[in-house]
Amino acid sequence: MIVGLLNVGSLVLGLTAWVLPVISLLKRNNSQIEKFMLRCVVSLALCTVALYFQILYSHYLVRISDWSAIMDTSSGVVFISGVLLVVTLVFNVLVVLKYSKNNRGL
């Protein structure tokens, strides 16, 4: 039963990994670098855990020898994992660029 939660957990963690940098991008006050950088680090950590959950689920399918499920889902998992990774990185780079642009005078 817990294995079924890996996909749900991966989805929730991946979406949260996107929401955190978006919150940083929408904030108007750029005076607190700690909060912006903490959101970036947490976002990247959540993305990592979401990807790890997918690896664990694939390992579970191998362990139970469900080869048809692996063949049916592997290309989708690879594509979605790539999207998760790229979007998370782009959002976090935008946060860092926004912060560094607004605080060059320091």
| pTM attached to this predicted model | 0.88
Dist CA 64 CA 3 (whole Å): 12
pLDDT at position 94: 93
* Mean pLDDT in order along the chain per 10 residues (106 residues): 88 96 83 82 97 95 94 94 97 90 63
Closest CA to 80 of 21, 13, 11: 11
Cα 23 from Cα 71, distance rounded (Å): 37
Instruction: Provide the residue ranges of all domains of the chain, joining segments of one domain with +.
Output: 2-102
At residue 72, the pLDDT reads 94
